[in-house]
Structure 1
Amino acid sequence: MWTHRSWSGRILAHPLAPHERLRHYAGWCDAVEGNTTFYATPARDTVASWAEQTDPGFRFVLKLPRTVTHDRRLTAADEELRAFLHAVEPLGPRTHALWLQLPGGFGPTDVPTLARFLRRLPTDHRYAVEVRHPAFFTDPQAARLLEEALAPVAAEWVPFDTTAFFASPPTSDAERDAWTKKPRMPLRTDALTDRPIVRYLGRDDDTRTVEGWQRWVDVVVGWLREGRSPTMFVHTPDNADAPLLARRFHDEVRAKLPGLAPLPDPIPTEPSPAEPLTLF
């Protein structure tokens, strides 16, 4: 996601043509989750425009279509997979990872299917897998089976940390909506590869979001010191301040690792007199 109604005129310029929105977002953050690709494979020309709006070092983590991961459950989906790979080809090195978000019912007995699917994928991409079946987090044998399936293709296990979100009852409409939709995932902070990917869900209260990510600041600092190149995605239920929070997280990591490169300078926008643009 690189657009949000509440960002218009505050974080991103307004008005802004559709083919300019990603370029402005890329002035705030240097990575994005490609969640829309889960619902429909984009036109190749559309993807080419994404490449034109971003630098080669920008990171896209693109979710495979639901027809592949959910409807077909990684079987008999060659045509859909080929169409998707063809569509995203214009991104070139910007495709940081192709992301398989598997349904909650995809459990340990399905791991052989995942292993076969991963072995057949093109080797010119990196892959990341997000599982939501509780056994992978509570049963060491199930976790080991999954890790053994990921290892031959150097695929990463993507944690979705919702522990801060579910720590106390919701207090806003957006939180109440997310309360019924988001998975209650146990915490996992291990990395399998040199490019770990983390998805973190905070609260609509920025203070609580920041409190909840403190463990991740230390984890990410440790990964960077080990020579890894992590990607951190920060969400809140309403996502109104997500780019601001992402930059704040980066600032906290950089405070402990001053050698870490800064994020890009945002493209200037005219703030509303009633709502000045602030970082915090």
Structure 2
Amino acid sequence: MGQIRVGTSGWVYPPWRGVFYPAGLAQKRELAYLSERLDSVEINGSFYSLQRPSSYQMWAEQTPDDFVFAVKGSRFITHIKRLRDGDTLLANFLASGPLALGPKLGPILWQLPPNFSFDAQVLDAFLAHLPRTTAQAVEVAQRHDYRVDPAHTTTDADRPMRYAMEIRHDSFATPRFTELLTRHGVALVVADSAGKYPLLEEVTADFVYIRLHGHDELYVSGYTDDDLDTWAAKIRGWAESCDAYAYFDNDAKVMAPRDAIALRTRLVA
């Protein structure tokens, strides 16, 4: 059996305070509180802007030894440069602090925009440039530019790097795409998005990455007991041959932590 981890996409949400987080809990204690109930979380601030190495170090210190962070890749790479001419941007992203997570660094998520259609040549070139180990990531990070200061360009050990890709355009529903991911060992994100975006479930790597955005309404609706039972069964099936990471992104009405805890309870029971 592979290892299963369940978490939420992010943890800093004002509506969670007094609902999921106890009233009066200091904001700086929120990650620690969540990590006592779940065993992983997506860092999504890294999608919007480069974070600082000190932030990654602080997050690692606030969580248990066996906790793992998924890190969302920069939107400047996926949405602005659209995976093209991104060598310096990739170096900047890696130098901004993910390697400071040490053994708590999990998969890096690349989320493509809805208007990004399948382009095998562009995707192949981008995936081929991704470092496959933390030692290779250090070499890439050392090529960062002035935008990253201070930078973190060391690793405490040489470990494999994992990547996942989330698509949001129907043109990706082709064997050419899944074959490309398989060749590069990159996981196809299984994204439940209330029917708005494609839901593909092929296994293309040694792990499966699931994002649960809301069953009926994107980012808002929760999952029923039957829904959670269905997802738990799917994840158990995938975990027979690979690791699985599942993250809830239905945060608008504080559904994400509730559903994540409920799913994890089903999977660890």
TM-score range relative to shorter protein: 0.7 to 0.9
- 2:74 alignment partner in structure 1: 65
- 2:206 alignment partner in structure 1: 194
Which of residues 30, 37, 41 is equivalent to 2:46? 37
1:49 and 1:80 mapped to 2: Cα distance?
24
Q: Given that residues 206 and 242 in structure 2 are in contact (C-alpha distance below 8 angstroms), is that contact kept between their aligned partners in structure 1?
A: yes
Percent of paired sites with the same residue:
29
Q: Are 1:99 and 2:109 an aligned pair?
A: yes
- 2:188 alignment partner in structure 1: 157
SS at match of 1:242: helix
1:56 and 1:84 mapped to 2: Cα distance?
24
- Number of residue pairs the alignment of both structures matches: 228
Which of residues 204, 225, 230 is equivalent to 1:210? 225
Q: Given that residues 168 and 198 in structure 2 are in contact (C-alpha distance below 8 angstroms), is that contact kept between their aligned partners in structure 1?
A: no
Query: After superposition, where does 1:84-233 map in structure 2 within 5 Å?
Result: 84-87=93-96, 88-108=98-118, 110-124=119-133, 125-137=161-173, 143-162=174-193, 165=194, 184-200=196-212, 201-203=214-216, 206=222, 209-224=224-239, 226-233=240-247
- 1:234 alignment partner in structure 2: 248
CA drift at 1:251: 2.2
Which letter does structure 2 place at the counterpart of 1:211? D
1:213 and 1:229 mapped to 2: Cα distance?
19
Q: Given that residues 163 and 186 in structure 2 are in contact (C-alpha distance below 8 angstroms), is that contact kept between their aligned partners in structure 1?
A: yes
Instruction: Say if 1:192 and 1:44 are closer, same or farther in 2 by CA, change over 3 A.
Output: same
Q: Given that residues 119 and 153 in structure 1 are in contact (C-alpha distance below 8 angstroms), is that contact kept between their aligned partners in structure 2?
A: yes
Q: Given that residues 112 and 149 in structure 1 are in contact (C-alpha distance below 8 angstroms), is that contact kept between their aligned partners in structure 2?
A: no
Instruction: Say if 1:235 and 1:70 are closer, same or farther in 2 by CA, change over 3 A.
Output: closer
CA drift at 1:234: 2.3
For structure 2, list consecutive stretches of 5 or more residues without a partner in the other structure.
1-9, 134-160
Which letter does structure 2 place at the counterpart of 1:185? Y
CA drift at 1:43: 0.9
Which letter does structure 2 place at the counterpart of 1:100? W
2:125 and 2:253 mapped to 1: Cα distance?
36
1:210 and 1:105 mapped to 2: Cα distance?
34
1:247 and 1:128 mapped to 2: Cα distance?
23
Which of residues 249, 255, 258 is equivalent to 1:244? 258
1:76 and 1:250 mapped to 2: Cα distance?
40
1:186 and 1:220 mapped to 2: Cα distance?
19
SS at match of 1:103: coil
SS at match of 2:202: coil
1:214 and 1:135 mapped to 2: Cα distance?
30
1:91 and 1:73 mapped to 2: Cα distance?
27
CA drift at 1:159: 1.8
Instruction: Say if 1:156 and 1:107 are closer, same or farther in 2 by CA, change over 3 A.
Output: same
- 2:14 alignment partner in structure 1: 5
Instruction: Say if 1:187 and 1:148 are closer, same or farther in 2 by CA, change over 3 A.
Output: closer
Deviations 1:244-279 (CA, angstroms, capped at 9, x unpaired):
21111122334xxx4xxxxxxxxxxxxxxxxxxxxx
Which letter does structure 1 place at the counterpart of 2:178? E
Q: Given that residues 156 and 197 in structure 1 are in contact (C-alpha distance below 8 angstroms), is that contact kept between their aligned partners in structure 2?
A: yes
- The structure with the largest helix share of the pair is 1
1:46 and 1:237 mapped to 2: Cα distance?
22
What is the TM-score of this pair, normalised by structure 2? 0.77
- 1:140 alignment partner in structure 2: none
SS at match of 2:70: strand
SS at match of 1:191: coil
- The structure with the largest strand share of the pair is 2
1:89 and 1:58 mapped to 2: Cα distance?
15
2:208 and 2:260 mapped to 1: Cα distance?
16
- 1:15 alignment partner in structure 2: 24
